[in-house]
Amino acid sequence: MDKINKWDTIYMNMTRELAKGSHCTRVKVGAMIVKDGRIISTGINGTPKGYKNCDDVFNSVKIKELGDKYYEKHHDFSEKYEIHAEQNALLFLARNGGAGIEGSTIYVTHSPCIHCAKMIANSGIKRVIFYNLYDRNQDGIEFLKELGLEVKQLK
């Protein structure tokens, strides 16, 4: 299975809709894990359950007030407190027994970072379909390809 098919497009559209539920004020990311035509897990980027959300800290007034410092402050907050969408999808599976992930496909709105790529590689997922190319680097994509996973961008 080395090409994009109609179901890849359908699942990616669902993943892009899912991402809209993220509370991140900078980038809303969604992830969906599918096995044998069934959605087995989803995740969005955000803070741990019970912790204040990004949009609680960085509302529109605060963003305007911070100006150019917004990106720096947001990066610091994100590094400390936010969990990536792929990680949340994998954690949901782990909390619920984690069975059935071997050979599955993960759909992600943004290409995985190197940290998520390592988790994906060890999880048993075999295909990674992403929509947007992560703007900082593509180390995650290259790493997954080196390990033999199928990685495709769907536009």
The catalytic site residues sit at: 86
The verdict on whether residue 84 carries a ligand-binding annotation is: yes
DSSP 69: H
Consult the annotation and say whether 24 binds a ligand.
Answer: no
Sign of CA dihedral 70, 76, 82, 86: positive
Per the annotation, does 75 bind a ligand?
no
Bridge partners (DSSP) listed for residue 83 = 46
Report the distance separating Cα 5 and Cα 31, nearest Å.
18
Report the relative pairing of strands 127-132 and 105-110 from DSSP bridges. parallel
**Binding site residue list for Zn(2+):** 84, 113, 116
